A and B are shown apart, each in its own frame.
Chain A
Amino acid sequence: MVNPPSRKIDERLYVNRYNVHSENHLHVDQSKCQECRDKPCTFSCPVDDYVWDPELKRLTVFYEGCVECGACVVVCPYHKIALDYPPAGRGVNFRFG
């Protein structure tokens, strides 16, 4: 079973303004995920977008809460994550910034 993102993050994201695009903009090539020891994307992401499912051996990507920081791209030891920004001003739009 996939562990849903922690409650705390849900509460945090609730205050943000999102205009969620219908397509995922976080492209993950999962060919290396199984052998990836630390899976740094699962703890470095400030909004818990990446959750590893140990049963299905698969990464679930909750792109809807993405704040487009790029940490996942930087920390992936196999360089298998690409961040395409959502089109037409979609995604997060900070009210304060």
Chain B
Amino acid sequence: MSTEKFDAIVVGAGPAGTSAALTMAKGGLSVALIERGESPGAKNVFGGVVYKWPLEEMIPKFWEKAPIERKIIDHRMVILGKDSGFSVSYKDDYLGMETRGGFTALRSRFDPWFAQQAEEAGATLVTSMPVSEVIEEGGRVVGIRAGRGKENELYAQAIVAADGVMSTVLQKAGIRGPPAAEDVAIGLKEVIELPSDTIESRFNLKRGYGARLDYLGSVARGKSGGGFVYTNSNTLSVGIAVLLSHLLELRCKPYEILDEFKSHPVVAPLLEGGRVKEYQAHLIPEGGLQSIPPLASRGVLAVGDAAMLCLYPEGTNMAMASGVMAGKTILESKKTGDFSIQRLMLYERLMKESYIFKEHSRKKNYHNVLTSGDRFNTDYPDAITEIMRNILVVDGVDRGTKHAAARKVIRDKVGYVRVLRDLYRDIWSALPW
């Protein structure tokens, strides 16, 4: 039957793959975008926020037509103690204009819309088709298989691996193995239904605008983990993430941590009366810079989660940006007719000069903080709780005494030197902002 060859095969129609496919299709390339879910987004899980950049570069004024849940104007960071919460928040209508502060989305709605843009630009979207093998010839990957027989083979000049953190393409091509338990967090999320009015009054929001609440500290029994509550139109995305290697130390079920988070006195009132509509789980790349596999290797360009590009709390933007750069690289190859492995290395150069690598380099200590940063999950939250309780309870003891006690708490629990070092270095890796 047909033995036609595409310019590019993109495996995975998530934000990264669709960005690559859209970029190439706009440039006139023949692109097959292959998705294993029944529709794009059907197999995907994320926290819930998509960012203006770089989506706007691909689809100008997307906010007028994309399936946006809520435009985020309220960013809250909460450090959880065992029964308490210390929050910092920033609220600004400016962030809501043109979705400057990002927007919440549901993958089953956003991804099909986004993939449709790629289709309209000329990409061929195929769904319900898990890619199971790569086809190799002369030391490079020249095609993929999605089942048995010739009818399930497809060939292309270049392959984009956008098939997520467990990337079949990269594993089958021998570019990387499954991620290590230290390099991924397991994320669990529930979509909880509440009337939109309730969400608006409970989170103090105007219609169409939303809040994102990111929780640090005592989320995962003293281990590295975080929680979140994001507002959608008439649902909340509520979840936790815990480093998989730490879960192995805890030896507990991941949903026990989700249950603890949901019943935390600071979180529970926000969810009250809500009905769980869906329960999801996914692995999140958390390995940082050192876990990134060869980005352009053997004719395969790795993008998004497949390339382990994710830095808490950002992921979709990096996925999209890497997809765009992979797309541009293949466009360049098409222009010159040179799809050689060397030529495709352009992608790696583009990536190394990009925002993504700047961020990953800036947070190069992130992974260390995650794996060894018990003080962020236990010592600091405990100290904050002790200090704040002591200060905020008016009991006739003068503030001078209380401040002295606070200093003693810091000295005993963490130590001044540690605080200074953390302020100078690690805190910037641990915080989402």
Contacts and interface: CB of A to CB of B under 8 A. Distances in A.
Complex contact flag A–B (Cβ < 8 Å):
yes
Interface of A: 8-9, 12-13, 15-16, 19, 38, 40, 43-44, 46-48, 67-71, 73-75, 79, 83-89, 91-97
6 contacts: A16-B278, A16-B280, A40-B251, A71-B244, A94-B278, A96-B280
A67 B310 CA distance: 21
Given A12-B279, A96-B108, 14 more contacts: A15-B277, A15-B279, A40-B248, A47-B279, A70-B166, A71-B254, A74-B184, A83-B166, A84-B130, A88-B129, A92-B42, A94-B107, A95-B108, A96-B107
A74 B280 contact: no
Contacts of A85: 36, 43, 130, 132, 168
Interface hub of B108, B147, B165, B168 (most chain A Cβ within 10 A): B108
Contacts of B247: 44
B27 interface: no
B255 A89 contact: no
B36 A94 contact: no
B282 A74 contact: no
Nearest to B237: A96
Contacts of A19: 38
B182 to A, nearest CB: 10
Contact of A93 (B42, B179, B277): B42
Closest 7 CB pairs of A and B: A97-B107, A89-B128, A89-B38, A46-B281, A85-B130, A12-B279, A70-B166
B130 A97 contact: no
A17 to B, nearest CB: 8
Interface in B180-204: 180-181, 184, 186, 188, 190-191
Given A44-B244, A89-B36, A67 B281 contact: yes
B276 interface: yes
A38 B277 contact: no
A12 B280 CA distance: 9
B145 to A, nearest CB: 12
A48 B42 contact: no
Contacts of B186: 44, 46, 69, 71
A97 B108 contact: yes
Interface string B390-416: 000000000000000000000000000
B38 A93 contact: yes
B255 A94 contact: no
Nearest to B276: A15
Contacts of B184: 74
B41 A94 contact: yes
A50 B24 CA distance: 42
B282 A69 contact: yes
Interface hub of A71, A73, A83, A96 (most chain B Cβ within 10 A): A96
B283 interface: yes
Interface string B131-142: 010000000000
A71 B279 contact: no
A74 B178 contact: yes
Contact of B278 (A38, A47, A79, A95): A95
Given A85-B130, A89-B38, A46 B255 contact: yes
B188 A46 contact: yes
